[in-house]
Amino acid sequence: MNKDFVPRQVLAEQACHIEIEKLGEPVGKQDQYIASFGGITAFEFCPDGQVQVTPAADFHRDAVQPGRTICCLFFTGFTRSASAILAEQDQKTRGGDSGMIETPARDQAVRL
């Protein structure tokens, strides 16, 4: 068994390569990166494929608005297939569906 250390960025990219390139899943990189880095972390997914990672400890204190510093996460029991949803979104986008093209991605996630 090989116990070499793998940096988190490399681990995330390897996971992305396997899921997106090898398995052909129509997914993004968010899940792989948060699984690799954990915690409260900001990711900037650049058009060139690079990912900038900023841990919460590095956020500028002025960027956090007063009263918005508490974060609660709840499991609702509801699950969904990201691959199926993203495949549908891709199909609608390629088909010129104006509702899909004009609506920001963050709004799409809420309506799913």
Segment 41-79, tens digit of pLDDT:
889 999 898 999 988 766 665 555 555 556 677 889 988
Residue 99 neighbours by CB under 8 Å, 6+ apart: 92
* Interaxial angle between packed helices 8-16 and 30-37, expressed in degrees from 0 to 180 and rounded to the nearest 10: 150
Coil vs helix vs strand at 42: strand
Q: State residue 108's pLDDT score.
A: 44
Coil vs helix vs strand at 87: helix
Averaged pLDDT for residues 20-45: 90
Residue 107 neighbours by CB under 8 Å, 6+ apart: none
